[in-house]
Amino acid sequence: MKHFLYFVLLLVCVKVTAQEAARYQKPSKEILELVDVERAPSVLFDDAKEHMVLLYRDSYKSIQDLSREELRLGGLRIDPKTNIGSRVSYYKTIKIKNITKKGNIISLVKGMPSNPKLTNFKWSPNQERIAFTNTTETGVELWVMELASATATKLTKATVNANLRGVINWFKDSESILLKVVSESRMPLINTKSAVPLGPTISVNNGKKAQNRTYQDLLKNKNDEYNFEQLALSELYKIAMDGTKEKWLGTGIYRSINFSPDGKYVLVNTVEKPYSYLVPYYRFPSKTSVYSIDGKLIEILLEVPLIEDLPKGFMAVRTGKRSFTWRKDTAATLVYTQALDGGDPANKVAFRDEVLTLEAPFNGPGEVLVKTINRMSGIQWGTNSTAIVSDYWWNTRNTKSYVFNPSDASQKPVIISDRNYQDRYSDPGSFLTEKNEMGSSVLTLIKGNAFLIGDGHTAKGQFPFVDKLHLKTQKKTRIYESKLTDKLENIQRYDPKKNELLVRIESAKDFPNYFFRKLKNNKLAQLTFFENPFKSIQNVSKEVINYTREDGLELSGTLYLPVGYDKIKKEKMPMIMWAYPREFKDKSSAGQSTKNPNKFTYPYYGSMIYWVTKGYVVLDGASFPIVGEGDAEPNDTFLIQLVANAKAAIDAVDKLGYIDRKKVAVGGHSYGAFMVANLLSHSDLFAAGIARSGAYNRTLTPFGFQSEERNYWESPEIYNTMSPFMNADKMKYPLLLIHGEADNNSGTYPMQSERYFNALKGLGATVRLVMLPKESHGYKSKESILHLLWEQDQWLEKYLKN
């Protein structure tokens, strides 16, 4: 009996040690004062740069917000009570500043709802108004704000259906809105937790290959199908600015709604049956139709079947017409794309895609406009004789841009850019656009010249620029290049007529603010005056260090030293390294650095910057390229390169004399967590690790992961060798696993951390698993984030510093 009681007591003690009944904790004061700060607003400008709209929101949700009822259906996460995404971040305050008036007068918008939860902001075509939604306890309302008077007005009751997004669609006259409204025919939802099943759920396959990624939140049974349909069904109403409404279209699952540039036609895409248990709603059958402005059907353009069985490869697409849009430089011309390779990247053809146009009444054969060598990725429309089409091909990382004449398909397109899109040093920038007479965004063209705004990454640093490109001669002229070396100047907009820039300037300690820069005299006029809310770390030493991997590959990272660190004394401190592996097809691109020491130091929830206040060195964003040149794939040598990257980083900081290399921890999120587990298993470089929301068993993602196209049966040795779960017996150092219980990311099921923890525990490793209730792949509630920081702090103090 004595021995039995001892055994029971031992079991109880083991249970208490294994599963802690913890409450939410808060980190130390040094960290807490960097977390609980007032957030600077998001900024919107009208095209004329007359009004600046400031949108304020809280930094975090509450765990109470995340605990509301949530249905996960067809790849969506829905609050069934309010009919909007359950994870939406809301704004709470709107202010307006008239830039044309002198002084820094900012007006609070009047007439706002009580306890506002605002989102879905949409400018009216004339930019005199902004429409938005407000979420109440019972549903979603439509509101509109007049910029001139800084006044908001409610237009509808809480009947808006925002479950499939694309909620607000302005009519051309800016006097009415086409709105998705909850269907009057909606039936009560089924409580799937208590519903009695009518039979088993059966899935079948007819012999076709359907190699899909491991999507989350899919439909699982007939009850899910029913609930998805009820929540997705809407009616379309035309809402006037005085609140009067009229039904425009009856019940349907409306995915997207787009007005033609002249406002006379509407392109409508709807989701159709049958639904799928394998793919999200955007791969369900769909129908694309054109309607007149008064809601009369003109033509059904396309009916797409269920897409479950695409060919293998990232560049695979379905056959037939796809991607219907409006041509922006004409009144009402449709544009669409179709594959010339059968949608299969394995087929060798001269051109992968062709782009076609279709004129009203939209029922004849399309006219071929241009063909692309790679998969078509987008068109920048300009005039009737000038447009630019771009393509890309993932397998080679190649992208091309061509200038072509939309009015003459016989004219051969001219390639104006042909480059590796991972080569950031050669990035020509993005084309400048402006609104044409129909209010559509088209290329800014002056005397045959287009304009490009670029980030300006170079081997010597970052110098954003504006270039003028003559599209016929391809002569390029630099109009402006930032000369700032102690600050970062992001170019938001260029006005060729005023020869003026809208820029955002920041430094490591100066919060980003907006300015006008007159290029004639290079003078700045400041528009915003946001203060740095993180005073305690504003003087922390921050630099980008460059170092070399053992095979000669150039790497880099952003190095932070602890608050008050004495560079002369050089006390050796513990270090935290945070990183994320990225795949490349060439060493040249992999060795480029896009880090800028002048970027504002913003300690967001996932950052490790907080720990400079606790005596730690932090190496943030350490380069972890995984390169596979030629026929080799990056993952063929994943582990070798992973360890080489880590060693090079530690060697570089150790050489500077700042760290005790026996006290280095490594951390990462998602694929970075996968990296952490592998490093602790296959190297002796680290004392501890932190892995958040990762995937550790690649056999649970058998049809590809990250940038791996090969499936498990084609390359089992890659999947097994790379999986930390398969190598759990090799875990050598303490590992903190953290995961959101409601992770929605493809492949990173919460089960990944749970099963990995069980394997490590069974093999005697030092490991702690923290499952954050209600949290997704990224964490949102203040309670979870504070606890996360506490967990990381405790782990580092125990297994790294001490």
Are 159 and 182 a contacting pair, CB within 8 Å?
Answer: yes
Non-local (6+) Cβ contacts of 158 within 8 A are 82, 136, 138, 139, 140, 141
Q: Which residue has tokens 């996932």? A: 606
Are 503 and 458 a contacting pair, CB within 8 Å?
Answer: no
Instruction: Give the whole-angstrom CA distance, residue 30 versus residue 604.
Output: 15
| Residue 570 tokens, joined | 């050089």
- Report the run of H or E that residue 270 belongs to, with start and end: strand 265-271
Q: What is the dihedral of CA 346, 348, 351, 353, to 10 degrees?
A: -20
CA angle 693, 697, 701 (to 5 degrees): 90
Are 707 and 580 a contacting pair, CB within 8 Å?
Answer: no
3-state secondary structure of 236: strand
Instruction: Give the whole-angstrom CA distance, residue 334 versus residue 364.
Output: 12
3-state secondary structure of 782: helix
3-state secondary structure of 789: helix
| Residue 276 tokens, joined | 């799928």
Q: Is 398 exposed, middle or buried (0-12, 13-18, 19+ CB in 10 A)?
A: middle
Q: What are phi and psi of 567, to 5 degrees?
A: -70, -20
Active site residues: 670, 743, 777
Q: Is 20 exposed, middle or buried (0-12, 13-18, 19+ CB in 10 A)?
A: exposed
Q: What is the dihedral of CA 714, 720, 721, 724, to 10 degrees?
A: 140
- Report the run of H or E that residue 527 belongs to, with start and end: none
Angle 671-682/638-656 helices, nearest 10 degrees?
80
Q: What are phi and psi of 782, to 5 degrees?
A: -60, -40
3-state SS of 351-416 is CCEEEEEEECCCCCCCEEEEEECCEEEEEEEEECCEEEEEEEECCCCEEEEEEECCCCCCCCCEEE
Q: Which residue has tokens 């002249």? A: 262
Are 262 and 292 a contacting pair, CB within 8 Å?
Answer: no
Instruction: Give the whole-angstrom CA distance, residue 313 versus residue 154.
Output: 48
Q: Which residue has tokens 């150039």? A: 554
3-state secondary structure of 123: strand
Of 176, 90, 69, residue with least CA distance to 133: 90
Q: Where are the alpha helices (DSSP H) in 602-694?
A: 638-656, 671-682
Q: What are phi and psi of 588, to 5 degrees?
A: -60, -50
3-state secondary structure of 300: strand
Of 593, 604, 518, residue with least CA distance to 553: 593
Q: Is 778 exposed, middle or buried (0-12, 13-18, 19+ CB in 10 A)?
A: middle
Instruction: Give the whole-angstrom CA distance, residue 512 versus residue 731.
Output: 43
Instruction: Give the whole-angstrom CA distance, residue 118 versus residue 152.
Output: 12
